[in-house]
Structure 1
């Protein structure tokens, strides 16, 4: 090719076309990449400066992602605290409900519901994590958020532990004792006999008052025995004087524990009820009153009438109360009140279970709380002729944590402290969330600033480069035309031939 000679005009136009083509290639590359500096060869200073800015922007972008995850972790904890607060307020409502009730059974039920709320609080706290980090789960869950490349700017958030409500460093709410009930039994036994006498004002020594028997001697002393006529079994006496009447006999019988006497003036019948075997004798140990021996037996059927024993008299009122003295209900003894009626009365109350044993004659009573069954009759629940003036008592093995007003008020105080703790912790998490979100916005803006600065150094002005390309295309066309003209000048030599 060195043997080929071009004219100066052709060579100059050819060089111009080559330069234009090179310039067009550069402009097209800038338009294609959007950058005016694509490598250190284009502009070392701008290239390396922009690379440094972009590197920092990338580093901050990674930190920005971590900040976003920290925000979500804090939000999860905050939502957990909000829900836990609602549960604590519900627990406080249960305590206040218990305070408004005097029923031990209702208080026991409220204590059970209170404990379930505490369980739900613990479960909720365990579920308040985000990507394996739980700010409500205590040790090992502290959160660190880094804000700059060298980690000199950061925020450490200490986790609290609400997964165990009893922790003193947390909510300090312990489960309440739910109480454990107890059992007792009421013996139903007795017997009765009827002695035919005259009216109650007649003298016991008059021949006419005792049917089929001689009059009682004026020197006699009626003696009352349990089981036998031995002196160790004697439980009382009545001195028979010239003025002693049938009513005096009735009164002396009614004064005995576990014995009840009823005299019918119309029929002249004296009916004696006894909870145990009973015998009326004289000083010699013989019976001067006909049919005065009573053989008491255990009740064996739910249809037996309660007033057939000395423990129950028509008109007596049985009252069932709990350990707080709260009256659950009452039952008035009527002439047809049966064992089944008493059993039904007891079973009508929540937490009480009564069952009659036909073999032993006992009503077995189980209760979830302390109970007391009393009567306004003096002979109620007698045993071996010893009256039990306090009735039948059932003491629970343990009371619930809401048994007394003092216990409930103590729990309410702890709940108020827990609510205060939750509000303080929610405020702290809110402050931390505000800090992280603020740094998140700042970092995003800083990344934009860094990328914008890098772009100013390396990005091409597409408008300018578009105009440059158009100008180069025009120059290319002109250079091509000029080259054509120069070539035509050289072709004029051919006309000489």
Structure 2
């Protein structure tokens, strides 16, 4: 069969339609993808240039993620420093409060609170990490932030260590010694007896009695120590005799002119014996006019016994409790009805001091040092040779005991606040730098992507107009092809 021959007009119209279809396909592809350069075949120069720009933008985007995480790490550390600073300021407030009181017990309690604050500081520093990186936890937590693709632009943030407040390179705040308790005790004994001096008054001479003569010796002994009083030398009158006996440690003496007798009350924890010899005349006696010896038997007081039944106490005495700083938390004025139990209750009302009474002894436990004293010189004298009546309880002092101790701690706190502020400034500078570089990188990425888009992204308005023009061209070509065919058909009409 011979080839079909198309006229020139038909062929030209067919070619025009094919070109229009090809242009439509290209335009449709651009409209569908939004790109005018989809491959290197479309435009090698634009394609590879855009790809290079997009590749760099992608690399920077990866770095941007790391920068964002670095910002959070820095913010976590900054939050930690801010909170630690508040805790250190609380510790400073505690030290200042301790400075405003002289009570050793209260200062010890402030020392305990201070140590608790330091423990919270360490815990907070340990909790200030982000994704395993903690800029407040010392060596091994260095933060390196990379800003460009080849790592030539970077920032290294060195950590500090606040997880141990005692470090000299950190806060340099040591835990305070809070001291240790101490113990003590004192006995509560009593005994009494009378020396009869019939017919005498306080102003009478002892030698007015037949039993007494000058140079007689009155001996008072507790079994280990003997005090000798010589009649006519040490004691002349009855009042001299009373005063001399009253001056003995732990012994109270008084004269009753109604009964003509000297009453002796002892607080010693051993028996006292009184005798008089007949040296130079008179006769041996019990210290009075009665033959034999006078014995004051020491007996443990009960909790309900009145204090004045012991030679260490008299009505009107004041018992005072002071701590190691000289602070006076309590005192008690004794009257005729004040009992041992009242004294124990007084002691127990003092913070940091506990007392128990048993078997004639008051046992003490003190969290700080305490002294119990009395304006009565016979208080707490256990032997005739006693040199001190103070009940002393020694405890190990806390490091907040003295003003000097507290001021030393305040100096350390002020230095630690300076360290915190310096660290906060350093972290703030690093944070600001990373945030600025983050913004810069975001802008660079945007610039790169816009530049790549300028090379490859299609103009939708232009492509839409192109598609409309191509559709018009296609319609016109189809019409022209139809007209060309009609011209050929008119020839066939000649063959009617």
Q: Establish whether TM, by shorter chain, passes 0.5.
A: yes
Residue correspondences, number: 483
Partner residue of 2:63?
Answer: 63
Following TM superposition, by how much is the alpha carbon of 1:222 offset from its aligned partner in structure 2, in angstroms? 4.3
Q: Give me the whole-angstrom Cα distance separating, in 2, the residues matched to 1:364 and 1:40.
A: 100
Q: Give me the whole-angstrom Cα distance separating, in 1, the residues matched to 2:391 and 2:117.
A: 36
1:12-411 correspondence to structure 2 within 5 Å: 12-197=12-197, 198-206=200-208, 215-219=210-214, 221-227=216-222, 233-239=225-231, 244-274=236-266, 275=268, 276-283=270-277, 286-289=285-288, 290=290, 292-299=294-301, 301-358=302-359, 361-389=360-388, 391-396=390-395, 398-411=396-409
Give the SS at the match of 1:28: helix
Aligned residue among 424, 431, 434 for 2:432: 434
Q: Quick one: structure 1 residues 392 and 2, their matched pair in 2 at CA, closer, same or farther if it must change by over 3 Å?
A: farther
Q: Give me the whole-angstrom Cα distance separating, in 1, the residues matched to 2:117 and 2:123.
A: 10
TM-score normalized with structure 2 length: 0.93
Give the SS at the match of 2:314: coil
Give the SS at the match of 1:179: coil
Q: Give me the whole-angstrom Cα distance separating, in 2, the residues matched to 1:277 and 1:25.
A: 130
TM-score normalized with structure 1 length: 0.93
Following TM superposition, by how much is the alpha carbon of 1:316 offset from its aligned partner in structure 2, in angstroms? 1.3
Q: Quick one: structure 1 residues 442 and 288, their matched pair in 2 at CA, closer, same or farther if it must change by over 3 Å?
A: closer
Partner residue of 1:450?
Answer: 448
Q: Give me the whole-angstrom Cα distance separating, in 1, the residues matched to 2:258 and 2:445.
A: 114
CA RMSD of aligned residues (A): 1.9
Following TM superposition, by how much is the alpha carbon of 1:49 offset from its aligned partner in structure 2, in angstroms? 0.5
Following TM superposition, by how much is the alpha carbon of 1:36 offset from its aligned partner in structure 2, in angstroms? 0.4
Contact 2:235 2:241 in 1 (8 A): no
1:416-427 correspondence to structure 2 within 5 Å: 416-427=414-425
Following TM superposition, by how much is the alpha carbon of 1:279 offset from its aligned partner in structure 2, in angstroms? 2.0
Q: Which runs of 5+ in 1 are unaligned?
A: 208-214
Q: Give me the whole-angstrom Cα distance separating, in 2, the residues matched to 1:488 and 1:264.
A: 166
Q: Quick one: structure 1 residues 2 and 363, their matched pair in 2 at CA, closer, same or farther if it must change by over 3 Å?
A: farther
Contact 2:370 2:393 in 1 (8 A): yes
Following TM superposition, by how much is the alpha carbon of 1:251 offset from its aligned partner in structure 2, in angstroms? 0.8
Q: Give me the whole-angstrom Cα distance separating, in 2, the residues matched to 1:242 and 1:137.
A: 80
Q: Quick one: structure 1 residues 270 and 469, their matched pair in 2 at CA, closer, same or farther if it must change by over 3 Å?
A: same
Q: Give me the whole-angstrom Cα distance separating, in 1, the residues matched to 2:233 and 2:165.
A: 78
Q: Quick one: structure 1 residues 453 and 2, their matched pair in 2 at CA, closer, same or farther if it must change by over 3 Å?
A: farther
Q: Quick one: structure 1 residues 222 and 243, their matched pair in 2 at CA, closer, same or farther if it must change by over 3 Å?
A: closer
Partner residue of 2:481?
Answer: 483
2:474 matched to 1:472? no
Give the SS at the match of 1:293: strand
Following TM superposition, by how much is the alpha carbon of 1:267 offset from its aligned partner in structure 2, in angstroms? 4.7
Following TM superposition, by how much is the alpha carbon of 1:243 offset from its aligned partner in structure 2, in angstroms? 9.1
Give the SS at the match of 1:137: coil
